[in-house]
Amino acid sequence: MLFEKDYFLTGKINEECGVFGVFNVKDAASLTYFGLHALQHRGQEASGIATSNKKEIKCIKGRGLLTETFNNRVIKELKGVHAVGHVRYSTAGGNEIENIQPIMVRSHKGDFAVSHNGNIVNAKELREEMENNGSIFQGTSDSEIIGHLIQREQGDFVEKIRKAVLHLEGAFAFVVMRENEMYAVRDHNGLRPLSVAKVDNGYVVSSESCAFDIVNGREEFDVLPGELLKIDYNGIQHIQYAEKTQLKMCAMEYIYFSRPDSSIDGINVHTARKLSGRMLAKIDKEAGDVEADIVVGVPDSSLSAAMGYAEESGLPYELGLIKNRYVGRTFIQPTQAQRERGVRMKLSAVRDIVKGKRIILVDDSIVRGTTSKRIVQLLKDAGATEVHVRIGSPAITHPCFYGVDTSSRKELISARKNNEEVRDFIIADSLKFLEVDKMMEAFETENLCVACFNGVYPTDLFNLGVQLKEEIENER
């Protein structure tokens, strides 16, 4: 059955994956299920859990939401005190069953399971080189490349992983489980988040710290850029595998992807969003060019920023838009009218609140512009007299190659139109984005990847860079 990626309907960008690992905790599969449930927003196309009973690894995975593959009966089949799990949104590799993670690598030297989040930018080059040397791939995902690289290296397992990751360029945060060991690795730019917490006498590893609460995780910390953790019965060994490291956390994790109750590299996501809203309000106050009655956020990821805007501006924060939480995944919708209905199924304007009002509408980002336009239309149809759109991030002008599904500039309205043209397209009365420097000032950090806003990528892009250059040249 074909499912439409949310992107086409909502105009929002999607992240690729969430990973979760459990080491030495009773009922590891159940814990992983709960952890993945908290990470479901990071991927709804497929999920999987592999467990180790200390002697062998068993893996079950399937398409769709976690609840479509796992129930009590299935979880009971996954015995063991160690587990690794994954929720998937596919951008690298399709949604074929072979690409669903954890990826299992079985060999006479011992089996292991890999769960990975992010995109490897030199995947094509690595795959070609390995295929020329006899490697056979089952699927098309980057994660399988990681498995192959680890398997072909020599030395003890730490050494194998250390040598393998030195071949990788791009964004990766992954967990590897062997029968009695677990490893957690983050790329040398720290582009994707990965955190660890203690649970009883064991440990849990997660893409986001929001998953620790439900499993009673404590003493949590982030895996550092360029760090490899070995987790076994002796505790945690920290190994710095990369000499040159920097923190360039994906800014979109704070702006849009992560849950507000997660903290990434010491910054709480809700707080960061509120600060971005406050900054937007400060900019408006200084410019003195807009008058409004209420502040409305686009649910859910923009509500924190809207609260921040309201606090700073002194305007009332109102629930002008309501999200229908039971829409679920959306089928391919071929006509404009059906797409229109799709947005109205997901969002409704609260007529009594917005009628006759001048609204500051706070959203997190604009990708194609079509969703923003529909939301502005929704508010105006409900009687809003003015809609001033304020975006809690800079204009997206470049594609992301690090695990977010904006692979072409063609999809990005701000790559083709200036601010006034975008404003006109989304039928807003005014439009402002948060510039890169103001966003960093608001978040109080410069340790961010902002490549999709300014085209300065923190890694080499290999073949993808050549394609991007060609695309930009063809636009001229």
Residue 449 interacts with ligand SF4 (CB under 6 A)? yes
DSSP assignment letter at 255: I
Crossing angle (nearest 10°) for helices 123-132 and 142-152: 50
The verdict on 367 binding ligand SF4 (CB under 6 A) reads no
In the complex, least distance from residue 454 CB atom to ligand SF4, rounded to whole angstroms: 10
Residue type, 142: D
Residues 160-199, one symbol each (x = binds ligand SF4 by CB under 6 A, - = not), give -------------------------------x--------
- Closest to ligand SF4 by CB, 52 vs 393, is 393
The strand pairing partners of 59, in sequence order, are 50
Strand, coil or helix: 278: helix
Q: Given the complex with ligand SF4, which of 100 and 450 has the nearer CB atom? A: 450
The residues that bridge with 202 in the sheet, in sequence order, are 199
Cβ(365)–Cβ(411) below 8 Å: no
CA distances from 444 to 247, 305, 362, 390, 439 (A): 14, 15, 20, 20, 8
Residue in 17, 121, 378, 384 annotated catalytic? 17
Considering the complex, state which of residue 100 and residue 171 has its C-beta at the smaller distance from ligand SF4.
Answer: 171
Binding status of residue 247 toward ligand SF4 by CB under 6 A: no
CA 402 to chain centre: 10
Q: Select the span of 138-146, 342-350, 444-452, 462-470 touching ligand SF4 (CB under 6 A).
A: 444-452
468 part of the interface to ligand SF4, by CB under 6 A: no
> How crowded is residue 11: how many other Cβ atoms within 10 Å of its Cβ?
21
The CA distance from 125 to 276, in Å, is 39
**Is 400 a binder of ligand SF4 (CB under 6 A)?**
yes
Of positions 31, 87, 442, 452, contacts ligand SF4 by CB under 6 A: 452
* Kind of pairing between the strands at 430-433 and 448-449: unpaired
26 phi, psi to nearest 5 deg: -55, 145
Q: How many residues of this chain bind ligand SF4 (CB under 6 A)?
A: 11
Q: Does 402 bind ligand SF4 (CB under 6 A)?
A: yes
Hey, what are 340's tokens? 């229109």
- Cα–Cα separations (whole angstroms), residue 200 to 36, 213, 420, 468: 19, 13, 56, 48
Residue 251 touching ligand SF4 (CB under 6 A): yes
Nearer to ligand SF4, 204 or 250 (CB): 250
CB 452 to ligand SF4: min, Å: 3
Q: Which stretch binds ligand SF4 (CB under 6 A): 92-100, 302-310, 448-456, 468-476?
A: 448-456
- Helices 142-152 and 157-165, axial angle in degrees (round to 10): 130
The CA dihedral of 179, 184, 185, 189, to the nearest 10 degrees, is 170
CA–CA dist 182, 203 (Å, integer): 10
Q: Where does this chain touch ligand SF4 (CB under 6 A) — which range of 56-64, 71-79, 396-404, 416-424?
A: 396-404
Closest CA to 7 of 454, 444, 339: 339
If binding is defined by CB under 6 A, does position 353 make contact with ligand SF4?
Answer: no
Residue 416 Cβ, how far from ligand SF4 at the closest point, in Å? 18
Q: Tell me the window of 200-208, 247-255, 261-269, 333-341 that interacts with ligand SF4 (CB under 6 A).
A: 247-255
Position 81 contacts ligand SF4 (CB under 6 A) = no
Residue closer to ligand SF4, measured from CB, 196 or 451: 451
- Assess 252 for contact with ligand SF4 (CB under 6 A): yes
Residue 449 is assigned to a ligand binding site: yes
> How many residues in the chain?
476
Nearer to ligand SF4, 378 or 412 (CB): 412
CA distance 225 to 204: 18
59 is catalytic: no
Cβ density class 351-372: b for 16+ within 10 Å, e for less: eebbeebbbbbbbbbbbbbbbb
Interacting residue with ligand SF4 among 50, 84, 126, 450 (CB under 6 A): 450
Residue 305: other Cβ atoms inside 10 A? 33
451 is a contact residue toward ligand SF4 (CB under 6 A)? yes
| Residue 98: CB atoms within 10 Å | 13
The answer to whether 250 contacts ligand SF4 (rule: CB under 6 A) is yes
Q: Is 364 annotated as a binding residue?
A: yes
Q: Which stretch binds ligand SF4 (CB under 6 A): 35-43, 60-68, 223-231, 445-453?
A: 445-453
d(CA 367, CA 387): 19
Q: With respect to ligand SF4, which residue has the nearer C-beta, 85 or 170?
A: 170
Q: Which is nearer to ligand SF4, 204 or 404 (CB)?
A: 404
Query: What are the start-end ranges of the E strands in 111-199?
Result: 112-117, 173-177, 182-186, 195-199
Annotated binding site: 250, 301, 363-364, 400, 449, 452
List binding-site positions for [4Fe-4S] cluster.
250, 400, 449, 452
Give the catalytic positions in this structure. Answer: 17
Q: Which residues bind ligand SF4 (CB under 6 A)?
A: 191, 250-252, 400, 402, 404, 449-452
Binding residues for Mg(2+): 301, 363-364
